[in-house]
Amino acid sequence: APETINIKGTRSVPEIQIFSIALKDGELKTDVLRCIDQAIPFPILFELRFDGKVKPIAAYKRPSETDATQWVISEYLDSDWAADDITRRPLPMVFDLKALYDHLLAPLIPYPARPAESLQARVDRMERIRLKERELVRCEARLRKEKQFNRKVAINAELRTIKEILAALQK
């Protein structure tokens, strides 16, 4: 909160919640995290702990443009498990909680940032990449099942287009 770290809040990030969750086994479904995210009207960073390791996970969360009382939650971003006894990096020098939130989420996005690309744009691009990856898997499955040569040619053309779009998004 702004009162605890002396950084002013913004309309999109009035405060940042950090939840540390100890797991009994090494997995937690994102549905559980989404339920928590929907119940709490602030951006949340989760730290999953299991067997001496820690894994950060979060969804980019912002107020809805149509209804200020609702929040829009992206897909979940996470990194690999790391030993929990490593020293943490100090917090960056920022002027508001929005910049701090952006700085905390940026390392969780698996694709490199483009020049002058905002975090919101990176998250949107990441979601489009994941959507295209799912579309690619479905298209490949259709190709394997198809028996007719002319339909296979059309599906192959569709596959090439999807792969080109995916490659352009990942750059």
pLDDT score at 94: 87
pLDDT score at 64: 85
Going by C-beta distance under 8 Å and a sequence separation of 6 or more, which residues neighbour residue 97? 2, 7, 8, 9, 10, 13, 14, 15, 16
CA–CA gap between residue 47 and residue 52 (Å, rounded): 12
Structure tokens of 52? 């001496």
CA–CA gap between residue 97 and residue 134 (Å, rounded): 34
pLDDT along the chain (171 residues), means of 10: 87 91 89 93 93 93 85 90 85 88 90 88 92 95 93 94 93 83
pLDDT score at 44: 94
Report whether 21 contacts 54 (CB < 8 A): no
pLDDT score at 91: 81
Question: What residue type is 45 in one-letter code?
Answer: L
pLDDT score at 158: 95
Residue in this structure with the two tokens 């390392």, named with its chain if needed: 107
> In a 10 Å sphere around its CB, with 0-12 CB exposed, 13-18 middle and 19+ buried, how is residue 98 labelled?
buried
Structure tokens of 69? 């009382």
pLDDT score at 2: 87
Note the pTM of the prediction, 2 decimals. Answer: 0.81
pLDDT score at 23: 93
